[in-house]
Amino acid sequence: MLPATASMTVMLLTVAYYALRRQTDHNYFVNVPIPVNGSYFDFIIVGGGTAGCILAHRLSTRLNASILMLEAGGPQSVITDMIGNTQYLIGGEFDWNYHVQQQHYAGLAYPNFTISRGKVLGGTSTTQWGIYNRGNPNDYDNWSQRYGLTNMTWDMVLPFFLAYENNTDSSLRFNGYHRSGGLVSVSTETEPDPVLLNFRTLMNTLGFSTIDLNGGTQNGTAIAQMFYNADTGIKSTTANSYIESINQTARITITTRAFVERILFTNNTHASGVVFTRNGTEYHMFANNEVILTAGPINTPQVLMLSGIGPRIHLQELNIPVVRNLPVGNNLHDQVFVPLYYRVNNETLRQVDPYPRFDVANLYGYFHNASGPLAHHADGVTYYSSSQNSNATSWPDTMIISVVEFFNNLNATVSQYASNTEQWRRYWTPYANDGYYLAIDPVLARPTSRGTVRLNATDPRSAPLIDPNYLSNQTDFEALLDVTMFVVRALQRYPLPGVMQFPPIPGCPIVGCLTETLCEMYLRCHIRQLARSYYNFAGTARMGLANDTAAVVDPQFRVIGFDNLRVVDASIETPSNGDMASIMVNIPNSRYCSSDAISLDNLALIETDTRLVSEPNKYERQNAVTLMIVPLMKFCAIIDNSPMTRMDESDK
C-alpha cells in the first residue's frame, strides 16, 4: 500500500531525482576518456575492488602522483547502494559468477556450485552483506607470529580499524572500541526481524551474553552492526567511501570494464606496465614507479600466472614462458558454512511485508527517508568454540549466522542440484510459497583445509579453476559438525515462536534428528551434501620471510624477485572475516608503496588523531571489508624502516 502522505506523482519524481543524483555520483570518476595507448602513470593498480579503491584514494590524495586503476567490472549503481537488496546482487551483473571445481568432501549435492566475487567498482565490498566484524585479536597475533610479520599484531592494527570507522551509533562510538569521523560509515540495524531477536534471546538463555562483536570479547551473541549509514540507507563500500570522497582535481584515472591480460616486465625483475583489453581494443600502459595487484585472491593469482609468475610445471603445461617460479595459487582457503533452512510463519511475527521489492512504495521510502525493506538488512552472529578448538572461548573457531532470506525463483533453486531434482522441488515448494525463511548458518571460521587456483586457459577472460578443497581436513569437518549439532538441538529443545523445524534434505537416507544418534548420523550427511563457500577467500599469494618456500610476497608486499611489483589484497593471507581486514591492510600499506617509489618523508595516511597510534595499548584487544585493512596497514606503516607515528594536522 502506498503512503497516504505522498501522491504517486510525488513519489515517482522523488525516486527519479534521487536515483539520478546517486547514479551521477557513481559515474563521475568512470566517465573519463580512455588514456592514450602507451601512456605512463606513476602507479598502475590492477583491480578496483575492496583493496584497490582504498589504495587509489591514498596514493592520489596524499601524493601528487598519477594513478591508473583498472577494474574489470562497471561502476556501482543505485541498486548496489541498497543494503536490503544485497541478496540479489549475488550471481548477477556485478558478480564474476565463478564456479568451484567438483568437491569431494563438501557440497556433494551440487555439480559445481557458484561462488560470489564482486565484479564492480568496490569489488566484493559492494556485493556482500556487510557484517561489521573485525575478527579476533588472536587472528592477527597468530598471523604475525606464524610468518614473522612483527607489525601485524593486534595492538599494531587496532588503530587502523579505528582510523577508518565512522560509527553512527552514539552508544558505541565513545566506548574505546569505536569512533566516528572516518570515511567508512557503520551503523546499528534499527529494524532487525523479530525472529532474529528471538534467536538472540535463545542464545542468551543458553549462556551466550549479548556483546559488541568488535568490543572486549567475542564470546557471545549479537545483532551485528553493518557497513551502511542508517541515516541515508546507503551501503558503505570502498568505492563509496574512498573513491567518491576524492577531490575532483585528483590525478586518478579509473578505467572500468578493462580486462588485464598480463604484466609487462623489463629484465624479468621489474614491472614496466600492463596489457589490458576494453571493448575489443588492446592497450599497453606503463608505470613510472609501481604496478600493484589488488584483484583479490582469485584474480590476482590468475594475472600473475598469465604473466609467467607461478608454479613452473603448471605454466609449462600451458606454454606460458616462466618468468619466476613461485607457489602462486596455492594455499587457497575459505570459510565454509552449512545451511539450515527453517520455515517461518509470517503472520505471527511481522506486521509488514519485509520483502525488498522494487515497487514505488519501497523505492520512495528508501530515497525519501531511508526506510522500508530496501534500507535494512540484519544478521545475527554468535561465536561458538567447538570440541575441536584448543583455544577455548578466547578464540572461537566457529560462528552461527542467523538471517532472514527471501525466496525468489523455485526453478533456479532446484536447478543447482546434481540429482534428486524432483525431491528438491518438493522440498523447496513450501518455502517458495512462504516467500522467505530463517537461515541458520553454522560457519567454520578458521579452516585448515587448503586448495588451489589454477589457470584454465591462457585467455584472461576464461574463468580460473578454483578448488578450495573444502572440509578435506577431518578436524574442519568435526568442528562444523559440532556447531551444527549444537544449533539444531537448541532449536529442537527451545522452539522459536512461529519457526518450524527444518525437514531432512533429499540425498540423506537418515530420516532426520529424531534421536541424538540419528541426528549426528543425519547431520554428517547433511554437511557433506550442502556445506559450501562463505565467500571469504584468502591466501593464494601468501606473504612470508625470505626463507619461506611457500611465500609469494615478502613483508614489503613485493612479489619475490621483483623490485616494484606488489600484491596488496587478501591473497597475501589476511586473518579471517573478509573485507574489513582488507580495508585495514590498505590504509597504511599505501604509505609503504610511496616510500620506495616517491619517498615523501612527511606522508601521513590515516584520518585519525595521534593518540590512536601512539597509545595503541590503551584499547583492549578485539571482518568482509576487514580483510584488506591488514595488508594496507602494513603497506603504509613503514617508510624507510621508520615507525609509523607521525601525522600531519590534515590527518587528524
CA–CA–CA angle 272, 294, 118 (5° rounding):
135
Is 80 annotated as ligand-binding? no
> 347-353: long-range contacts at Cβ-Cβ below 8 A with a sequence spacing of 24 or more?
347/498, 348/497, 348/498, 349/193, 349/194, 349/195, 349/497, 349/498, 350/193, 350/194
Let me know the angle formed at the C-alpha of 234 by 233 and 239, rounded to the nearest 5 degrees: 170
**DSSP notation for 479-529:** HHHHHHHHHHHHHHHSPPTTBPPPPPPTT--S--SSSHHHHHHHHHHHHHH
The angle formed by the CA atoms of residues 44, 50 and 56, to the nearest 5 degrees, is 35
Q: How many CB atoms lie within 10 A of CB 576?
A: 27
Instruction: Report the SS3 class of residue 229.
Output: strand
Q: Is 585 annotated as a binding residue?
A: no
Residues 6+ apart with CB under 8 A from 640: 595, 599
Sheet holding 165-167, edge to edge: 165-167, 184-188, 225-226
Query: Which of 297, 311, 325 lies closest to 631, judged by CA?
Result: 297
CA quadruple 165, 238, 299, 109: dihedral sign? positive
Neighbouring C-beta atoms of residue 609, cutoff 10 Å: 15
Is 534 assigned to a binding site?
yes
Q: Are 107 and 470 in contact (CB under 8 A)?
A: yes
535 marked as binding residue:
no
Positions at the binding site: 120, 124, 260, 534
Residues of each annotated binding site for substrate: 534
**Binding site for FAD: which residues?**
120, 124, 260
